[in-house]
Structure 1
Amino acid sequence: MKTFQKPLNADEEKVFLQKYQEGDPDAKNVLIERNLRLVAHVIKKYQGLEEDPEDLISIGTIGLIKAVTTFDHTKGNRLAAYAARCIDNEILMYLRTRKKTSREVSFYEPIGTDKEGNEIHLLDIIEGDFEDTVERYSFEENVKLLYRLMESELTPQEYQILKMRYGFFGETECTQKVIAGKLGISRSYVSRIEKNAVEKLRRHFQSAGAS
């Protein structure tokens, strides 16, 4: 992560806030640049998410800019306390928006429908429990197909991550964070590989005309 300039002390902050209120555009830039370290500090609480830290820095900087432009220095408070809340709010709004608009690919997404029109999910194939002989045969065939596709269509890394993530082939089911630690890669990279692998399986599974 980039190196940030040293924060302003209380007296320096008062000077630049006053200059900014008087219309000095350079003062605004100084207030922003000298508080960028605060943005980096705030985003530490979001470590472990799949978001790129640089993206969060950019979003947090927007919150910082809003803080500088709306801060009331006449109340005698420090800018940092107000700015930290603005930065945090901006990041939270961004994450909520991302959650609403992102289309997560997972084993819970439908891959088709059964003979009665009910949705079939990849997870159903793994965890299915049928008493009917015909349904059990269909279930077992789907499991065989899924495993064949995993071995034939996935890269070794995709194959390994899905085995660990969903407990296939006797593996212990793991979180993305645990997998990332075992493989020495980032959690966000594990997530991307998992999503790509599941989407690949889903596409081939549909093409194969699974029952």
Structure 2
Amino acid sequence: MLPVWLDLAGWRELLALVAFVSGQGAFPAPLKPEEEAELLARWRQGDRQAAHTLAERNLRLVAHIARKFESTGEDQDDLISIGTLGLVKAIDTFDPEHNTRLATYAARCIENEILMYLRSRRNSRQEVVLSEPIGADREGNEVTLMDVLGTDGTEVYDQVEGRVEREQLREKLGSLTRRERLVLELRYGLGDGVERTQREIARLLGVSRSYVSRIEKRALLKLAQVLGA
């Protein structure tokens, strides 16, 4: 939800500026302490344009923080847009009486906004992947990744609770090729407990993300058939 000082038109204008300066690589210069203090004072008196200026002159900070998340594989323009929303919220809730610079406070808000976005993206991708059909069982029933992994994608051993012990599952993994087994171990943290995205696995193996996706689906289908035997 946007603050009262930033209507939909103003938000679009701000995002247009973000897109323009991102392409040019030249963000507005940061504010000097005295400039920031003056704008904050005007903003506290209800000057909406002062709030807009505070946002525009802190866009460089948003871009700097967004670059810290390059390794996630997310589009940088998307991260900057999300970070800009965090900046807007920071301006709306900043209290100068706490004796800290706006940039210091905004940095935390920007980073938190991006982190929440990344978590929601990860959860959304997981839900889509888990419900995606990967084949059929011997009776012709559709098999999804959720059927193989259970409802909790972060705990892969839930899929065999009450039926197969952990060591038995590893024996079943022996029916896979070396690459299929490696992809599943990396994807679901079977070896080190660290789950990785398909994009991360692709970088590790030096292949495309779509190739990793095909290997994962094939491996999970094989595993589903073995577990159902």
TM-score (norm 1): 0.58
2:200 equivalent to 1:177: no
In the alignment, structure 1 residue 112 sits paired with structure 2 residue 154: no
- Higher relative contact order at CA 8 Å, sep ≥6: structure 1 or structure 2? 1
Higher-Rg structure is 1
Going from structure 1 to structure 2, the CA distance change for 1:43 and 1:120 (only over 3 Å counts) comes to closer
Residue 12 of structure 1 aligns with which residue?
35
Q: What residue number does 1:34 align with? A: 57
- In structure 1, list runs of 5 or more residues that go unmatched: 130-138, 144-161, 167-173, 184-189, 203-211
* CA displacement, residues 49-83 of structure 1 (integer Å, 9 cap, x when unaligned): 12111100010000000000110012221001100
Q: 2:72 aligns with which of 27, 32, 49?
A: 49
Q: Is this contact kept in 1: 2:135–2:142, CA < 8 A?
A: no
Q: Which runs of 5+ in 2 are unaligned?
A: 1-21, 149-168, 184-199, 220-229
| Contact 1:105/1:195 (8 A) holds in 2 | no
Which residue of structure 2 aligns with residue 89 of structure 1? 112
CA contact (8 A) 2:79 2:114 kept: yes
The equivalent of 2:45 in structure 1 is 22
Q: 2 CA distance for matches of 1:10 and 1:74? A: 15
Per-residue Cα deviation, 1:30-66 (whole angstroms, up to 9, x for no partner):
1000101111111122111121111000100000000
Q: Structure 1: how far apart are the matches of 2:99 and 2:142?
A: 63
Amino acid across the alignment from 1:175: I
Structure 2 length as normaliser, TM-score?
0.54
Identity of aligned residues (%): 38
Distance 2:50 2:140 in 1: 68
2:122 equivalent in structure 1: 99
The residue matched to 1:48 in structure 2 has which SS? helix
Give the residue type in structure 2 aligned to 1:71: F
Distance 1:118 1:105 in 2: 15
